[in-house]
Amino acid sequence: MLKLLSNFKRREFAYPFFFLIAASLFYPLLFLKYSSSLSMISIINFFTPASLSLLALAFFLLSMNRAINAFSENKTPFLLAAVVLLPAFLHFFIIEQYSFENLLYALSYLSIPFFCYFYAESFEKMLPVYMAILWLANLYYSVLSFFGGHEFSGIAGNRNWNATFLIVTTPFLLYFMYKKMKEKGYGNAIIFISCLIPVLLSLYIFYKCDSRGGLLALILLLLLYIFMSLKSRMKKFFIAAFLLISIILVIFFCLKGTDKMAELIAHDVRLPLWEGTLNMIKDNIFLGTGPARFESEFSSYCPAEYFLNHHVAVRNDHPHNHFLFFASSFGIFAFVAWVFLLIYPIFLFLMNYDKEKKIVARLLFFAFLAMTIHSMFDMIYAQWPTNILSLMILGVLWAKTWPCSDISGERAWSPLPIWQKSFFFIFGIFFIILTLALSFRTFYSSNFLRNGIIYGEERKKYENAASYLGKALVVKKTPMAIYKAAMNSYFKLENPDLTLYYLYMLNETSAPNFAHSSGFIGNILCRKGKVREGLPWLKKENLHFPLSAGTLHNLFKAYTILGMPRDAEDSYKRLLIALSFKGLELKHLPLLLENPEFDLCPDKIPPDSLREGEAN
């Protein structure tokens, strides 16, 4: 105990330790869940990427000697980071509604890795224990899922993300167990059996996750590990065998699997998402849109083909490809710099693989590679905990790529004068206080939001829901809280004026286009007799949801009222086409107008409801 307390006096231990604690409090209710009945735990946040970014910046300022030494010996990562920083700060100063937290979110891609770069040795020691603890927490959630009959989403909150999370954390648990049991003098048989248990548990949970992206990452990692473990002569044989098997598989799919492959492609939402993101990149080639504005901007680029899929969503805050997300958010120059910061450490580690004898370093490398592979098909770099884990490991890999002979700052190239040390110290402490202020603000706002959703959706007490949602917005105006308040006002309180008040509030955030906000504004204005004022909103909604039968119906009515017969006729024709794409007819339109969810996902329409529509 005394040893642990003495460690806190050393910033090499204290800063990384407190950062890991903060990273664990992303969803604080995770550690209070005692049964599968505790709902909506992921709505309450304490720390976020923005506040963790600010905390990393605070520790950065408190470690300025380390930063100076690292910059003195390795300017490359800092210069590349400057290329990424430029659009991030330009977004903050140019975009009117771009908040300080939006800026911090953008900076998190650099601030967290650089902080871990400066304390790479400490993180390399702590991460195995941290990963093992996360694995145990995930196991607890898996047990709850097993007995509750729920999806094996784990602490990640999604079965696909959980699959890669297992790939990342399980080896560290095994390493930690093996190391400790070896130190205690246990025999090899006991160690083997003890380690076999978590392996079998992980394999079972991984199987239940049924993740193609996770399976692809696992297969590629195993192949790479086998390849890197072989001697030079065997590596050539391995490559030849791999190419031969690949050719055979390609021929097989061309001859036998074309229908299955075509079906997979047709039902995959990623291709239209990628197409829309590429078009958005083309229109924002130099500066991007900013990561916080991706969802709002992308709504105008989402192709109509996307809405023909069975798995569509009202919101798309990520294209399911990290590289496309980064390019669309920061522009092409920052994208090139970021790719170098990501890929070059991977390439260099592979080149020096045989020289790297540390098991932990190799495990960190494979963990980062697993997340990077899966991030090309999913939101691994955008969702906790893999988003924070990937950035922390990246910082450790930077230390391997651009090592510093005196990172501790004991022999600084340019020792800082006392007034400069005091300056950085004061600002570092200020940033820590500001981090706590932002975190408590987020916590209170998200807590009110959760209470509002529970009272509205579970307890059916809509006035209470409105009260809690209003309190959430007083603390912090987030697009989700605004939209929930608007929907409660529209559907439950039947107060269109209050709904408009909330929906217009979205213009004060970084996401003015949020879900069906434009459609609700246009529809309410038309019902109030302000058809000409509501028409632009309906047209915007049609741009965001081109196959929405409800929106096309409202457009048809608006054009008819305004005496625009050609536009009305065009809207009517497109309405019939949209219905035919959904496998429906005009007689089913009332069903879609009553339930917008059926309009987006016609597969969810109960057969009895379809028959009732036909009868009517």
Angle (CA) 141 292 76, round 5°: 95
Mean per-residue pLDDT for 388-393? 98
Kindly report the number of other CB atoms within 10 A of residue 393's CB atom: 26
Helix (H) or strand (E) holding 264: helix 258-266
Q: What's residue 1's pLDDT?
A: 46
Helices 159-183 and 120-148, interaxial angle, to 10°? 120
Residue 358 vs residues 118, 346, 353, 454, 490: alpha-carbon distances, Å: 19, 16, 10, 49, 59
Residue corresponding to tokens 């098909």: 377
Q: Over range 458-486, report the average pLDDT.
A: 97
What was the pLDDT predicted at 434? 98
**Residue ranges in 120-231 assigned as alpha helix (H):** 120-148, 159-183, 188-209, 212-229
Looking at residue 17, its pLDDT comes to 96
**Lookup result for tokens 């890197």:** 228
The set of residues, in sequence order, having a beta carbon less than 8 Å from that of 220 and lying 6+ positions away, is 373
According to the model, what pLDDT value does residue 221 have? 95
pLDDT of residue 144: 84
562, two tokens: 């305004």
Distance from C-alpha of 347 to C-alpha of 362, rounded to nearest angstrom = 13
Which one, of 448, 458, 446, 514, lies nearest residue 486 by Cα? Answer: 514
Give helix then strand counts, H and E, for the chain. 29, 0
Task: Spell out the domain ranges in the chain.
Answer: 120-210, 531-616
Report whether 205 contacts 162 (CB < 8 A). yes
The Cα-based distances of 105 to 98, 398, 447, 451, 591 in angstroms read: 11, 21, 21, 26, 41
140 Cα distance to chain centroid: 23
Check pLDDT > 90 for residue 72. Answer: no
C-alpha–C-alpha distance, residues 296 and 514, integer Å? 6
pLDDT, residue 142, reads 87
State the Cα–Cα distance between residues 106 and 289, nearest whole angstrom.
Answer: 11
Residue 110 host element (H or E): helix 100-118
pTM over 0.85: yes
Q: Inform me whether the pLDDT recorded for 482 exceeds 80.
A: yes
Burial of 418 (0-12, 13-18, 19+ CB in 10 A): exposed
Q: Angle at Cα 403 formed by Cα 402 and Cα 409, nearest 5°?
A: 125
Cβ count near 543 (within 10 Å): 15
Residue pair 519/538 in contact (Cβ under 8 Å)? The answer is yes
- CA separation for the pair 307, 547 (Å, rounded): 7
Torsion over CA: 345, 351, 357, 363 (sign): positive
> Tens of pLDDT along 179-223?
999 999 999 999 999 999 999 999 999 999 999 999 999 999 999
| Average pLDDT in the chain | 91
Q: 561: how many CB neighbours lie within 10 A of its CB? A: 14
Cα–Cα distances in angstroms (integers) from residue 324 to residues 128, 275, 281, 282, 453, in the given order: 31, 10, 8, 11, 33
What single-letter DSSP state applies at residue 186? -
- Other C-beta atoms lying within 10 Å of the C-beta of residue 511: 24
Distance CA 291, CA 331 (A): 11
Provide the pLDDT confidence category of residue 2 given band limits of 50, 70 and 90.
Answer: very low
Q: Which pair of tokens denotes residue 120?
A: 């790479």
> What pLDDT is stored for residue 406 in this prediction?
62
What contacts 361, CB < 8 A, 6 or more positions away?
124, 396, 400
* pLDDT score recorded for residue 263: 65
CB contact at 8 A, 215 and 373: no
DSSP state at residue 415: P
Which percentage of the chain shows pLDDT scores above 70? 93
- For residue 67, name the pLDDT band (cuts at 50, 70, 90): confident
